[in-house]
Structure 1
Amino acid sequence: MTLFGLVRHGQTDYNLRDLFQGSSDIPLNETGIAQAHAAFDQLPARDWDVVVSSPLQRAEQTARIIGEDHGIPFGGTDPRLQEIHWGDAEGRPVAEMQQRYPGRTFPGIEDAQQVADRGYDALETLEERYRDQAVLVVAHGTLIRFLLSGIMEQGLPSIPNATLSLIELEGTTWSVSMIAGQPVDHQVRVVSREQNPRFHVQKGDLTPLNLRGAQGTTADAEEAAR
């Protein structure tokens, strides 16, 4: 069994300004850097064997900060862990674009299941490389939410900055034991490694609900720019 700790990066200025961020390569702001340093402050101590990340700088910055703070070696980046590409909404105000395109049906948006599939494929590759180890993966809110929703078999709320979710992979069984610091218990078994869990949307397509009681921001607009 391989344990994955999924961490959403810290805040950026795009998050702060409520802009769709997606595949845009935006660095952490001062708040995001502080969030990365504090990411594990309220969590039980756990040993991690390696930390990997999306190649987008907000994720890699977060991964390197956490790794340096907790003595976790950095294992590189994987482009499959990048955030969803929001198409024409990239860099645009969330409120404006959601009004123009209800349900976030933006021209050029990346398909949700394709986003989830590349994320699952990345985790499977990491499972083969770090079998039976604990792997910290720093990525993005929408990507993480899509991964979790497939295993939980339901649409899920937004993922706050610098929070930890836990996924286990053993054979063809995927399990979730924590979402954004909150304990859960659910698993799904797929037929083979070629078949990934299916992404589940919330009512309203890609528009998330708030995840209350978790560390970090919970504003719906924040989910836009993971």
Structure 2
Amino acid sequence: METNLYFVRHAHSIYTPEELERPLSETGVRDAVRVTEFLKKEVIDQVVSSPYKRAMQTVEGIASFIGKDIEIVEDLRERTLSGKPVEDFDGAITRVWQDPNFSWEGGESNSVAQKRGVGATLLLLENYRGKNIVVGTHGNLMVLIMSNFDPSYDFQFWQNLEMPDIYQMTFAGNDLVKVRRIWEKK
């Protein structure tokens, strides 16, 4: 019995230092409509999401389409890079990917964030075995989860993600069987 998790990296958002309430931009809102249209082609049983507004906004259309509320999963939130804003984001993110156990002050290492994300994923696989679940989340955490099951999903892969992006991960039990990108850029 296969379980499909449709990991949805949130659409483009308006930058604010407040992570939890950061909303989608106008472009992001338009792309969230496209996300819904892509996911309508699949038979979706449930929608779960990070508690962050931009992730929920990206998947709320498909939740509405299937007539279900979004289930909030706290551990699907984005990784905390640092306890305070970093001056050089590219340098800071590169550093944590170079050493999975390194973390900036107040932040999570790749190892810690991955453990949290994989734990949430394994609970989804247990609770929704044989179902098709949309997972609203964030690029960094999504790739950390993917890399746990297949190390070829790495920093370079993350750098090439789009915003939004959708990857269907098919599992037999807790074993990853295949990954299929279902998002198509305009």
- With normalisation by structure 1, the TM-score equals 0.66
Q: What is the Cα deviation at residue 97 of structure 1?
A: 4.2
Q: How far has the Cα of 1:175 moved from its partner?
A: 3.0
Q: Which residue of 2 aligns with 1:157?
A: 157
- 1:127-164 per-residue CA deviation (whole Å, 9 max, x = no partner) reads 22222110010100101111112222222412211221
Secondary structure at 2:31 match in 1: helix
The 1-side partners of 2:111 and 2:182 are apart by 21
Correspondence list, 1:4-153, <5 A: 4-14=5-15, 23-39=19-35, 41=37, 45-68=41-64, 70-71=65-66, 73-88=68-83, 90=85, 92=86, 96-98=88-90, 103=95, 106-153=104-151
Q: Distance in 2 between matches of 1:82 and 1:12?
A: 15
- The structural deviation recorded for 1:88 is 4.3
Structure 2 CA distance for partners of 1:8 and 1:128, relative to 1, 3 Å: same
Correspondence for 2:4: 3
RMSD between aligned alpha carbons? Answer: 2.8
More off after superposition, 112-121 vs 42-51: 42-51
User: After TM superposition, what 4+ stretches of structure 1 lie above 6 angstroms from structure 2?
Assistant: none
**CA 1:22/1:81 → structure 2, altered by over 3 Å: closer, same or farther?**
farther
Change over 3 Å in CA distance of 1:101–1:135 after alignment to 2: closer
| Greater helix content | 2
Q: Closer, same or farther in 2 for the Cα pair 1:38/1:97, shift >3 Å? A: closer
**What's the % identity of the aligned pairs?**
23
- Where 1:39 maps in the other structure, the secondary structure is helix
Kept in 2: contact 1:7–1:165 (CA 8 A): yes
- Listed as ranges, the gaps of 5+ residues in structure 1 are 182-213, 217-226
Output the TM-score relative to the length of structure 2.
0.79
In structure 2, the residue matched to 1:211 is: none
Q: Which amino acid aligns with 1:59?
A: A
Distance 1:30 1:138 in 2: 18
Highest RCO, 1 vs 2 (Cα 8 Å, sep ≥ 6): 2
C-alpha distance in structure 1 between counterparts of 2:27 and 2:172, whole Å: 36
Cα distance in 2 for partners of 1:87, 1:135 equals 30
Task: Count residues with an aligned counterpart.
Answer: 175
Distance 1:101 1:165, change over 3 A: closer
SS at match of 1:175: strand
Letter in 2 for 1:47: V
Structure-2 change in CA distance of 1:125 and 1:42 (3 Å): closer
8 A contact 2:46–2:68 mirrored in 1: yes
